[in-house]
Amino acid sequence: MKKSPSKILLPILACILIGDALGGASEPVRLFVKEVPLKVLGKEVSVITIDQADGTQGYSPEKSDGFHVEVVNQLKVPTTLHWHGLILPNLMDGVPFVTQDPIAPGKSFRYDFPLKQSGTYWMHSHYGLQEQIYNSAPLIIWTPEERAKADQQVVVMLSDFSFTSPEQILKGLKSGAQKPSTKEKRPGKKNEADNSKKMSGTKGTSSPAEVIAQKWNEQNQRFVRTVLRAPEAEIDVKYDALIANRRTLDDPEIISVRPGESVLLRIIAASSSQNFYVDTGSLEAELLAVDGKAVQPIKGNFFQLGVAQRLDLKVTIPKEGGAFPILAQGEGTKMLCGVVLTTQGVSAPKLSRTASVSTAALDNTQEKRLRAVNPLPDRPIDRTLPAALGGNMMKYVWTINDAAYPNRKSLDIRSGERVGIAFTISTNMGHPMHLHGHDFQVVEIDGEKISGALRDTLMVPPGSKMTVAFDADNVGIWPMHCHLLYHLDTGMFTVVKYDGADVKFWQPETQAKVFGSPN
């Protein structure tokens, strides 16, 4: 139920009664999308926030209440909000020119639907390049079981920060200014598509250096941090800082915790194109869920997190107390961000924003070991959709099945099918691929069949072959795209379309006019 500033009790009581009659709170929470100042590295910049009337960021409903939101656009430009990872009715998905018209400045839009999931989700603008300037917020769906997972729960939103506007960054990428150095370029593998040879930094082609990577420690059955000689990860946007809960490590959020108690960290990669490694340091963590969906608990202190993915990590504070930084290092960079857990009377240590060594590319070390708690029912795949991830770095155009969006090429399916999506990749950067409106299960990695994690976003590293499966039980037209903002914006986007879907809002031609064509 929305908190009302009204002093009159009667309307509130009426509200509660109506809400109860409908089996839950139906009064919408108003989410105001607006510009706010933010100080980063001593300089004040203007960013976007999604706030409730009382200043709460985002929206975290009880599952049993359902989802009831009115988005109020207080920006000077259009927007829409997408509820990342939620299984919802198609026209509630919040994608302009696919499932709704943009919300004009000063206008609002209602989103109402029952909730089918619980756990760590998030919301973000699906309009233009607004995601880089933090048109995003947490979306935690609560149940008594979610609350019982730990003594204390903390949401950590990770992001990337640049003093350069997203429009300028895109211009730079298109003109080659942000391109990785070409001196490390070598010919691509023989079997790669022709255009992939134009991409710089093919995996294994940059000269090996000392890099931080994730390793599975077989003896202790846990994920750990290791330093090895390997190529640095290829990245195409270089940020000025990384932030956690909108703060750099110069002035991180300090979270008070109690000795001996457990803390569940709900970590969200809300970045526009920075993948992360999450380092819990001296605290042994237990990974309980990815993308809001339970996995067989697996231990470690060093985890991979692709853009738009989430990690639920449970840690226990030692009885003797102390200060415990929870850090995230960017893929292919030395930059760090994070929060610090401290017990009473302990001050947080001074932390550097820079690690001494850069990191390797995200890979399948972690994904191969994840197992779903609630796998899909056993049944063969009826139809496999190909998803060949490609691109042309010279033109800065990114493609799925050789096509750059906007276009009218859809991946077509029918209700009732078990659908597979077979990802192949010919580019030197990995792509965090997100399918709207469904949970999918990772069922095959590099030829090995597994009962892998349920997810809504899959990191496809360079050189890998990965298949996911889902049950086609949610009729509609659903975006499937790379979640690196600049790849999504320059073509790596398509739609999975059910037979008989309502496509009245699908206007790729209008989108091309409004956002421009990548070609």
Q: Which residue is it, tokens 């906007």? A: 406
Site for Cu ion in 34-93 (CB under 5 A): none
DSSP 22-49: TTS--SPEEEEEEEEEEEETTEEEEEEE
Window contacting Cu ion (CB under 5 A); options: 150-158, 405-413, 425-433, 435-443: 425-433
Pick 285 or 387: Cβ nearer Cu ion: 387
Residue 424, number of CB atoms within 10 A of its CB:
16
Structure tokens at 284: 């042994």
Pick 222 or 487: Cβ nearer Cu ion: 487
Q: How far is the CB of 484 from Cu ion (least distance, A)?
A: 4
Structure tokens at 418: 């078990």
| Distances in whole angstroms, Cα of residue 121 to Cα of each of 66, 280, 294, 334, 478 | 14, 21, 13, 27, 18
Q: How far is the CB of 518 from Cu ion (least distance, A)?
A: 13
Residue 505, number of CB atoms within 10 A of its CB:
17
Q: How far is the CB of 464 from Cu ion (least distance, A)?
A: 14
- The answer to whether 1 and 54 have CB atoms below 8 angstroms apart is no
Contacts of 125 (CB under 8 A, 6+ apart): 33, 48, 79, 80, 81, 82, 131, 135, 136
Q: How far is the CB of 80 from Cu ion (least distance, A)?
A: 21
Residue 360, number of CB atoms within 10 A of its CB:
24
Site string for Cu ion, 88-107 (x = CB under 5 A): --------------------
Half-sphere CA count of 51, side-chain side, radius 13 A: 12
Query: Which DSSP letter does residue 62 get?
Result: B
Total interface residues for Cu ion by CB under 5 A? 4
Q: How far is the CB of 471 from Cu ion (least distance, A)?
A: 26
Site string for Cu ion, 253-292 (x = CB under 5 A): ----------------------------------------
Pick 369 or 431: Cβ nearer Cu ion: 431
Window contacting Cu ion (CB under 5 A); options: 72-80, 198-206, 447-455, 480-488: 480-488
Structure tokens at 339: 């929060």
Instruction: Give the separation between CA 114 and CA 24, rounded to whole angstroms.
Output: 10
Q: Is 454 in the site for Cu ion (CB under 5 A)?
A: no
Pick 385 or 482: Cβ nearer Cu ion: 482
Q: How far is the CB of 407 from Cu ion (least distance, A)?
A: 17
Q: How far is the CB of 431 from Cu ion (least distance, A)?
A: 3
* 486 burial type by CB count under 10 A (0-12 exposed, 13-18 middle, 19+ buried): buried
Instruction: Give the separation between CA 289 and CA 291, rounded to whole angstroms.
Output: 7
Among 482, 485, 495, 496, binds Cu ion (CB under 5 A): 482
- The answer to whether 137 and 50 have CB atoms below 8 angstroms apart is yes
Window contacting Cu ion (CB under 5 A); options: 65-73, 163-171, 284-292, 478-486: 478-486
Helix/strand/coil for 496: strand
Nearest Cα to Cα of residue 203 among 430, 44, 470? 430
Window contacting Cu ion (CB under 5 A); options: 224-232, 250-258, 430-438, 502-510: 430-438
Pick 434 or 487: Cβ nearer Cu ion: 487
Q: How far is the CB of 487 from Cu ion (least distance, A)?
A: 3
Q: How far is the CB of 404 from Cu ion (least distance, A)?
A: 12
Pick 146 or 367: Cβ nearer Cu ion: 367
Query: Which DSSP letter does residue 174 get?
Result: H
Q: How far is the CB of 136 from Cu ion (least distance, A)?
A: 18
Contacts of 296 (CB under 8 A, 6+ apart): 370, 371, 372, 373
Window contacting Cu ion (CB under 5 A); options: 153-161, 244-252, 423-431, 506-514: 423-431
Pick 51 or 291: Cβ nearer Cu ion: 291
Instruction: Give the separation between CA 434 and CA 123, rounded to whole angstroms.
Output: 13
Q: Is 487 in the site for Cu ion (CB under 5 A)?
A: yes
Write 316-319 long-range contacts (CB < 8 A, 24+): 316/260, 316/261, 316/262, 316/263, 316/283, 316/284, 317/257, 317/258, 317/259, 317/260, 317/261, 317/262, 317/263, 317/283, 317/341, 317/343, 318/259, 318/260, 319/259, 319/260
Q: How far is the CB of 162 from Cu ion (least distance, A)?
A: 18
Q: How far is the CB of 35 from Cu ion (least distance, A)?
A: 28
Q: How far is the CB of 95 from Cu ion (least distance, A)?
A: 17
- The answer to whether 372 and 454 have CB atoms below 8 angstroms apart is yes
Instruction: Give the separation between CA 272 and CA 266, rounded to whole angstroms.
Output: 18
Q: Which residue is it, tokens 């037209």? A: 477
Q: Is 431 in the site for Cu ion (CB under 5 A)?
A: yes
Nearest Cα to Cα of residue 360 among 338, 386, 324, 332? 332
Pick 90 or 392: Cβ nearer Cu ion: 392
Pick 431 or 436: Cβ nearer Cu ion: 431
Pick 126 or 487: Cβ nearer Cu ion: 487
Window contacting Cu ion (CB under 5 A); options: 17-25, 38-46, 90-98, 428-436: 428-436
Site for Cu ion in 362-401 (CB under 5 A): none
- The answer to whether 166 and 485 have CB atoms below 8 angstroms apart is yes
Pick 431 or 497: Cβ nearer Cu ion: 431
Pick 406 or 476: Cβ nearer Cu ion: 406
What is the residue type of 514?
Answer: V
Window contacting Cu ion (CB under 5 A); options: 175-183, 320-328, 426-434, 507-515: 426-434
Pick 360 or 459: Cβ nearer Cu ion: 459
Interacting residue ranges for Cu ion, rule: CB under 5 A = 431, 482, 484, 487
